């Protein structure tokens, strides 16, 4: 069974540009999460989808971040325009009912 996959694994963009991160969850998992780790700090929750609906987006830093989950399958996280402080590792995770979250390998975003 395939795990959670994230694309790209690395991205280097200039300040002001747009970047879109993609996450493919484990098939059948209704719950999908985005987390972020800024260098040297803890992993922080960004948002939670249940199927295609946003269940909790309390961790989204500001309106430059837009997350979608089309048809309750894969999800995208767009940063527009990117700022230097957006650099970090973005993790996606998925889970079923009463199961732990399974994480992807993360996307390392560097804004220069």
Partner 1 sequence: AQSVTQLDSQVPVFEEAPVELRCNYSSSVSVYLFWYVQYPNQGLQLLLKYLSGSTLVESINGFEAEFNKSQTSFHLRKPSVHISDTAEYFCAVILAPSYNQGGKLIFGQGTELSVKP
Q: Which residues bind partner 1 (CB under 8 A)?
A: 3-4, 30-31, 33, 35, 41-45, 48, 50, 55-56, 59, 91, 93, 95, 97-98, 100-106
Rank residues 13 and 89 by Cβ distance to partner 1 and give the closer one. Answer: 89
| CB 16, min distance to partner 1, A | 30
Residues sharing a CB contact under 8 Å with residue 77, sequence separation 6 or more, in sequence order = 20, 21, 23, 34, 46, 65, 66, 67, 90
| CB 89, min distance to partner 1, A | 10
Q: Name the nearest CA neighbour of 21 among 2, 35, 39, 40.
A: 35
Rank residues 32 and 79 by Cβ distance to partner 1 and give the closer one. Answer: 32
Cα 70 to Cα 108: distance, rounded to the nearest angstrom: 23
* Residue labelled with tokens 């998992």: 29
Rank residues 5 and 76 by Cβ distance to partner 1 and give the closer one. Answer: 5
| CB 67, min distance to partner 1, A | 14
């Amino acid at each position: 069974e395939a795990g959670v996959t994230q694309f790209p694994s690395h991205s280097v963009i200039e300040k002001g540009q747009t970047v879109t991160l993609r996450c493919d969850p484990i098939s059948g998992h209704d719950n999908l999460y985005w987390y972020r780790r800024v260098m040297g700090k803890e992993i922080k929750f960004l948002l939670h989808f249940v199927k295609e609906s946003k269940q909790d987006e309390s961790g989204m830093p500001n309106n430059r971040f837009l997350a979608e989950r089309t048809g309750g399958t894969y999800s995208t996280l767009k940063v527009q325009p990117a700022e230097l402080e957006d650099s970090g590792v973005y993790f996606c995770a998925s889970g079923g009912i009463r199961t732990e979250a399974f994480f992807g390998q993360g996307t390392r975003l560097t804004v220069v």
